[in-house]
Structure 1
Amino acid sequence: MVELEKLLRRRKHRVLRLTYRYLSGRPLSGRDGYPYRRRGAGRLAGWQRQVYRLGVPATAGAVAVFPDQALTAAAAIAVGAAWRGRRRLVQRRFHREYIAPTLAAITPPLGLQTGVRLHVDPSLGNLTPRLAKPLSPAEEAARAWYGQHVEPVLRWLPERAQRGLWALQRRARPVTSRLEVFRRPGEEVGPRIELLIDTPYVTKEQRQLVSSIVGSKIPVADLVEAWHQVGPRVRARWTVRKRPPAIVGHDQVLAHFPRLAEWEFYIGQGAGDVPIVISLRDDSPHIAESAGSGAGKSVLAMLIAVQVLARGGRVVILDRKGSHRWALGQPGVDYCSRPAQMHDALLREAAEADERNTLALHEEDDWDPGPRTLIICEELNATIGMLANYWADVREKGDPKRSPAISALGDLLFMGRAAKKNVLAIAQMLTARAIGGPEARENFGIRCLARYTSNAWKMLVPEASMPRASRTLGRWQVVIGGQATEVQVAYLTTAQARALATSPSDLDNGLSRDVPGDGDMMTLKDAIDAGVLPWKYEAAKKRMQRRVGRVPAARGKRGGADLYARVDLVEWTSEARISIPPGAGGLRT
């Protein structure tokens, strides 16, 4: 009797165990080792086994009780299964072409047989389009018919549901925005290649080999690599490099410039649309630009120069070929286009810098020596040669053989920080000979490169890793302290640069103008460029000479040009439009 009770009790416990294992998705044999969430080698995961065991009887019961509704549900399930099956086929092909061969190449060098997992985002580059096979004419016709007739019907309900969800999100925004303060920021990764290795450490040689294998087997260009070896596992991640915006212009300059200190200069936008600012006090007192012809060297120099002028500073331009026509006639600009003018300007600036440094010895540390002076040396490779040739022609007996102007330029490079004398050197290839020696070139702590070659990069910034040169116009690499930052330099037209340089009050107030010349005072040319006057320049001058309409009176001078009030010019224009037929006297129609 006792033995019979033990047998029944044992069978009862066995039935309970089997029932528990069946309902929980565990193997009926009682052997564990396969996790609930992940699949084992060639077997189902626990949750998948659980779905099958509970879903099949439930489905059979529903079909027996509700046959009509079950048929509809079966059709929907069949459509979903077909879609999922097609997706699985695409994923299997992607895994077979990219992930499996890469893992097979990575695993042996690491000395591991298992414990290496690789994730590759299909949206990277053109990985998925590479797998597409060319279609036959019949397949193209079938896909076209499907896209015109079937897909709009299938997408109608999901699109309406998505629009409804967006509407609910907009209505709930006042409430959800208040809850943002409790949300912890998550890691924003985006499309990536991620490698997980079940080992605590990977050597430098192994990392280089793995990077080479990944770059060869997964053809995606311009990725940023990061290795994390803290913890029991090693993780490597390759993400898409963030790029600056394609166009940066006048509006961004107006938005950022008024917020800067006197020694800070806005030059453009970086990755993630972050403003890039350089400091002539903290980063370096001197700037070097090296780029090929047409890369925008003069545009970057102009952008910095107009900010100096807007703050009441001075600009000295050594330019033989006339790259800075915007500066002609500008107040505060000394434009030197002849070797003799360049020679005298460099001597004058070096003497003033020496005087300022002498006075600074007896002043406080934060003593201001006066307005900042920016010396722009255009095409320095040719300028140094012209200065040397000029000195060889005018040098008299007893004078030093070395050009005093070249020596003065070297003095400015060595003592310009405290004297607020800053040199901006521009050259296609900024060699040591072009700047007066290797020790002089080392004073350029801010180095800007565009359309560079490997030789130019290694010569100027060998301490920084060289990124691929961009073909986007205005895209520069700004290297400070061995760190290269990609920047889209802000572009200003000639008229915009002149207006910014001469209207600092508008900048201080943060006023934005779509076109320059919208200030209170302007010349006739400024008014025509800004669209205030509808005539050509010669036609406007003739109207003034003939006293057509209420001709505005000059309110001042800018160089040799008369300045007029904007209000007077607008009134004169409106009066002329009424009194003179369209098309007469040079009026634009």
Structure 2
Amino acid sequence: MAMGSLGELAYRYVTGRPLDGRDGYPYLRPGAGRWSGWKRQAYRLGTPALAALTVVEPHQGIGVAATAGAVAAWSGRRQMTRRRFRRAYIDPTLTAIRTPLGLETGVTLHVDPGLGNLTPRLATPLSPAELAARQWYGQRIEPVLRWLPDRTQRCAWAVQRWVRPATTKLDVFRRPGTEQIGPHIELTAQTPYLTQEQRALVSSIINSKIPVSDLVESWNQVGAQVKARWTVRKRPPGDVGYDHVIARIDSLAEWEFYIGEAAGGRPYTISLKDDSPHIAVSAGSGAGKSVLAQLIAVQVLRRGGRVIILDRKGSHRWALGVDGVDYCTKPHQMHAALIREAEDADVRNDLALHEADDWDPGERTLVICEELNATIGQLTNYWAEVREKSDPKKSPAVTALAELLFMGRAAKKNVLAIAQMLTARAIGGPEARENFGVRCLARYTVNAWKMLVPEAAMPKSSRTLGRWQVVIGGVATEVQVAYLNTMQARALAKPADGPDSALSSDVPEDRDMLTLRDASDAGVIPWGYEAAKKRLQRNVGAVPAPRGKKGNADLYTRGDLVTWAESGKTSVG
């Protein structure tokens, strides 16, 4: 395009517009060019002014020139870093996206350098001299430069804490701002629609070309443009325990159960009234299936309910001797318990027909079926051994379990089925499995996910112990399930309206529980294991009381053992 008159050229020079007559370059943003309008304007006006000042006032001009040079060097270094970042990530990704979409100039891509370790990947190794210089600068210069900004920031934080009582009361008048999405990748395509295949291709390219793992993808195709955004998945806290549980459970309704913490530390609960009366738990070995079942069971017991545990391998030692728990470890015990509960559920359902919708049939019963794949086989084998010729071929206990699954909500009979692979055959058919509206998965395989929750998108399986995906209504929520040790579980299992039911945070942790041999090996008690056993048998000194079991050995609290050791009695050889 022709330049135009001298006046127009002068106008473009002073205002920071391109001198070649092109338009479309914004003043505050770079736009199609490298520089925004205000930067171009500052460069054009500042350079002659600095040159004139250097001629008229050399001393001032040299100082200003030195400052301007330092700023230019800093800005140039930033520009070089951004250019390297763009060459490494943005330009190749745009080329890979534009070509298959047929949009050579209609796609823009924004990638935050703060994502993952994208910027550190571009760093070149430092030479020994550079490393020594940076170390000297960090020890000698940087503390001096940061002293005043650090003190200023601390003063600002102190003022914020001081005025917080007043400012929090003003929150009701504050309008909500825009969502803080943090570092993200954002793509804009100048087309009104992209097909599912095209979106999948773009997603594949983004995940392949930009090395940041576990991103959450969202698409917006409303309007003349298609916009896509990839954000870092928010994670639940890494550790949830007894303190979290005691802060939550007594404020919930009778049919609501606290599971753990979701992303951002948000408490996560399930409802056996609204979500589903039955819970399916599928996970690999050691993923914490029994921990999840224990957490729900102690809440049932605390509210005055009953818990029936079908457990052949003894995974719930915390429940031994606990009031309200029927612990079945033998096939004949499981057989009788299931038939009894199905008959009771049938009676409750008959009564519910003649009562109001909010009629309470009585205490809640939770049936925990550990390792259901093996349990069904044991019940079937047991029935094959004891049945008479006139008895039905199918195990009545297996039939009773299926009946519980179909009529549990009104009768307040809930089943928690646990299995490594919860197949339809294990639960009594695909119809019975459909009664599990709450499905919890951890350390799952692709096959297990597609079998149990094919309607939900499968996130990457986490290796964090206690990290579960809870799927309700086709929506998967990542939850860190709360962990309770044996003493904590037994403390929570006491009915809330009974004696000694008040919750406190001083229940011993696992590290405070020791067997007699462990205490001797760790030096908590000054005697050998055999000598300590004799002292215990003869009640020498302030003998500690057992607080739990570890296999066949009694567990004692560290504090009780220390008191015993300090009781000053003579050792028995």
In structure 2, do the counterparts of structure 1 residues 55 and 308 end up closer, same or farther at CA, with 3 Å as the change threshold? same
**CA deviation after TM superposition for structure 1 residue 92, in Å:** 0.7
The C-alpha deviation readout for 1:382-415, integer Å capped at 9, x for no partner, is 1111111111111112111111111111111111
**CA deviation after TM superposition for structure 1 residue 508, in Å:** 12
Q: Is the CA contact (8 Å cut-off) linking 1:251 and 1:514 kept in structure 2?
A: no
Answer yes or no: is 1:130 the counterpart of 2:121: yes
Answer yes or no: is 1:35 the counterpart of 2:26: yes
1:504 partner SS: coil
Match of 1:212 in 2: 204
Answer yes or no: is 1:423 the counterpart of 2:415: yes
The C-alpha deviation readout for 1:61-96, integer Å capped at 9, x for no partner, is 544565444433433332222222222111111100
> What does 1:50-449 align with in structure 2 at a 5 Å threshold?
50-63=41-54, 67-170=58-161, 173=164, 176-177=167-168, 180=171, 181-449=173-441
Residue identity matched to 2:90? I
In structure 2, do the counterparts of structure 1 residues 336 and 271 end up closer, same or farther at CA, with 3 Å as the change threshold? same
Residue identity matched to 1:477? Q
Q: Is the CA contact (8 Å cut-off) linking 2:364 and 2:413 kept in structure 1?
A: yes
- Rounded Cα–Cα distance in structure 1 between residues aligned with 2:500 and 2:21: 78
- Rounded Cα–Cα distance in structure 1 between residues aligned with 2:58 and 2:297: 82
In structure 2, do the counterparts of structure 1 residues 302 and 183 end up closer, same or farther at CA, with 3 Å as the change threshold? same
Q: Is the CA contact (8 Å cut-off) linking 2:16 and 2:44 kept in structure 1?
A: yes
In structure 2, do the counterparts of structure 1 residues 33 and 507 end up closer, same or farther at CA, with 3 Å as the change threshold? farther
The unaligned stretches of length 5 or more in structure 1 are: 1-13, 518-524, 553-569
**CA deviation after TM superposition for structure 1 residue 22, in Å:** 4.5
1:426 partner SS: strand
Match of 2:482 in 1: 490
- Rounded Cα–Cα distance in structure 2 between residues aligned with 1:350 and 1:172: 61
- Rounded Cα–Cα distance in structure 2 between residues aligned with 1:381 and 1:117: 52
Residue identity matched to 2:282? S
Match of 1:520 in 2: none
Q: Is the CA contact (8 Å cut-off) linking 1:539 and 1:585 kept in structure 2?
A: no
What TM-score, normalized by structure 1, do the two folds share? 0.83
Residue identity matched to 1:342? M
- Rounded Cα–Cα distance in structure 1 between residues aligned with 2:225 and 2:466: 42
Aligned length: 535
- Rounded Cα–Cα distance in structure 2 between residues aligned with 1:78 and 1:253: 60
Q: Is the CA contact (8 Å cut-off) linking 1:258 and 1:510 kept in structure 2?
A: no
Q: Is the CA contact (8 Å cut-off) linking 1:106 and 1:213 kept in structure 2?
A: yes
Q: Which moved more, 1:261-270 or 1:111-120?
A: 111-120
Residue identity matched to 1:504? A
- Rounded Cα–Cα distance in structure 1 between residues aligned with 2:496 and 2:166: 43
The C-alpha deviation readout for 1:100-141, integer Å capped at 9, x for no partner, is 011111112222221321111112112122222333333333
1:237 partner SS: strand
Match of 2:552 in 1: none
Q: Is the CA contact (8 Å cut-off) linking 2:348 and 2:411 kept in structure 1?
A: yes
In structure 2, do the counterparts of structure 1 residues 359 and 167 end up closer, same or farther at CA, with 3 Å as the change threshold? closer
Q: Is the CA contact (8 Å cut-off) linking 1:475 and 1:488 kept in structure 2?
A: yes
The unaligned stretches of length 5 or more in structure 2 are: 510-514, 520-524, 527-531, 546-558
1:276 partner SS: strand
In structure 2, do the counterparts of structure 1 residues 105 and 367 end up closer, same or farther at CA, with 3 Å as the change threshold? same
- Rounded Cα–Cα distance in structure 1 between residues aligned with 2:257 and 2:534: 38
1:502 partner SS: coil
Q: Is the CA contact (8 Å cut-off) linking 1:267 and 1:303 kept in structure 2?
A: yes
2:432 partner SS: helix
- Rounded Cα–Cα distance in structure 2 between residues aligned with 1:87 and 1:215: 26
In structure 2, do the counterparts of structure 1 residues 79 and 368 end up closer, same or farther at CA, with 3 Å as the change threshold? same
Q: Is the CA contact (8 Å cut-off) linking 1:290 and 1:430 kept in structure 2?
A: yes
In structure 2, do the counterparts of structure 1 residues 409 and 356 end up closer, same or farther at CA, with 3 Å as the change threshold? same
The C-alpha deviation readout for 1:134-181, integer Å capped at 9, x for no partner, is 333333333333333343344344434434444454455466545542
